[in-house]
Amino acid sequence: MADLVVGIQWGDEGKGKIVDALAKRYDYVVRYQGGHNAGHTIVVNGQKIALHLIPSGILYPHCKNVIGNGVVIDPSALLRELEPFTNLQGRLFISDKAHIILPYHSMLDKAKELSKKDKAIGTTGKGIGPAYTDKVARNGIRMVDLRSFGTLEQKVTNTINDMQILQEKYAFTLPSVDSVMSALESSAKVLLPFVCDTTQLLWKAQEEGKKILCEGAQGSMLDIDHGTYPFVTSSSTTASGACSGTGLAPRDLKEVIGVAKAYCTRVGNGVFPTEDFGNEGEYMRQKGAEFGTTTGRSRRCGWFDAVAVKYACRLNGCTKLGIMKMDVLDGLETIKVCTAYEYKGETITYIPTDYENVKPIYTEFAGWESVANIRDESKLPKNAKVYIDFLEQYIGVKISLISTSPEREDVIVC
């Protein structure tokens, strides 16, 4: 059986810390979708460690780490990320079915965003969307292609030729075939020893009774099907994506641990009903250090949206819920939770497809002085307990983990 950690807001919920906390109990940690547009920050003894493609289990010597077939990989970005780590043979496995992000993907990504002006999605410009577009169009290049450079060169040539019309439309300069092939050849020398059929690897691990933990990138509200389309990512960020992105079957999933912040953030454009444009939003941004691990962009901040979280928990079939960054709300006199929406003259407690037309209806709670560094549930301030108890009752999922600081050990297990 495999367990899953999944974000249930708009990403940046703190999944990396939860996976890091859990990984010591698992034999395999598997990343199943997204690319290096995502980032997990883990704090160990005051030192920040930022991971983008490598699964969070890399910090435990006993863990085997798998980059699944649902991930899109920029070889140069992965090589940079691998630099601090040694002795990874036998500990890192890369799916031979994972698609490759090539230089023209990021060029097209940036050019298209620029052309949209104020209607831009707000992507990281890393080439994730165009790489997934090529995958779905059956025109992609996969890690397995690095084993046959003759065939690979023809594929790259064909793709670059096909992109000439896009080059003219979006006014960017395509790289030469030779430059792309040269970069791929250098990358292949380092990466190919890690490339294998990871689906077979995981099936064998299951047969041997090994414990597997899957981790996603971004959050459920950015899911390509069920998120706030079109301001979403290009992959399936929910539990269903864990199956398609690894080869595991739905019946293989056991625990689904949803992760949410005690407030809410979003990067880029798109609907965000509970966004706070005032002092409280800025307070959360500064105290929570809400700046992107990958891009450094400041995140939009707002109040906990219990309607959206309940929706995302239902989508994923969450069996448990982790609430992160409770300490960021320390010192606020009043804390708000969105418990319904005003929508076309009615009060609703679901997410309509035209989500941009809702207005939040809040329930207010008295704040607390400090939960920072608390590791025992019984020591939480009374008002913090009231807040947690309300969220648990409203959402209908047991809150089993509460994070009270960025530090690795500051987690309450309920």
User: Which CATH superfamily groups domain 2-83+198-413?
Assistant: Adenylosuccinate Synthetase, subunit A, domain 3 (3.90.170.10)
User: 358-397: per-residue pLDDT in tens?
Assistant: 999 999 999 999 999 999 999 999 999 999 999 999 999 9
The CA distance from 406 to 211, in Å, is: 26
The whole-number pLDDT of residue 293 equals: 64
DSSP alpha helix (H) spans, 31-91:
75-82
The CA distance from 298 to 303, in Å, is: 16
Catalytic residue among 12, 20, 109, 276: 12
How many CB atoms lie under 10 A from the CB of residue 122?
15
Q: Is 40 a catalytic residue?
A: yes
Residue in 372, 255, 245 with CA at minimum distance from that of residue 322: 255
Do the annotations mark residue 347 as ligand-binding?
Answer: no
Q: Is 169 a catalytic residue?
A: no
Catalytic residue among 112, 126, 135, 261: 135
The CA distance from 276 to 259, in Å, is: 21
Do the annotations mark residue 237 as ligand-binding?
Answer: no
The CA distance from 30 to 174, in Å, is: 34
Question: CATH fold of 99-193, please?
Answer: Adenylosuccinate Synthetase, subunit A; domain 2 (1.10.300)
Whether 2-83+198-413 shares its CATH topology with 99-193 is answered no
Boundaries of every domain in the chain: 2-83+198-413, 99-193
The SS3 assignment for 388 reads: helix
Q: Is 145 a catalytic residue?
A: no
Do the annotations mark residue 298 as ligand-binding?
Answer: yes
The CA distance from 405 to 235, in Å, is: 30
Q: For residue 347, list its beta bridge partners.
A: 342
Catalytic residue among 20, 36, 40, 410: 40
- Tens of pLDDT along the chain (414 residues)? 899 999 999 999 988 888 888 888 999 999 999 999 766 666 666 777 778 899 988 888 999 999 999 999 999 999 999 988 888 999 999 999 999 999 989 888 887 887 776 667 777 788 999 999 999 999 999 999 999 988 999 999 998 888 888 878 888 888 899 999 999 999 999 999 999 999 999 999 999 999 999 998 899 999 999 999 999 999 999 999 999 999 999 999 999 999 999 999 999 889 999 999 999 999 999 999 998 766 677 899 999 999 999 999 999 999 999 999 999 999 999 999 999 999 999 999 999 999 999 999 999 999 999 999 999 999 999 999 999 999 999 999 999 999 999 988 899 998
Do the annotations mark residue 25 as ligand-binding?
Answer: no
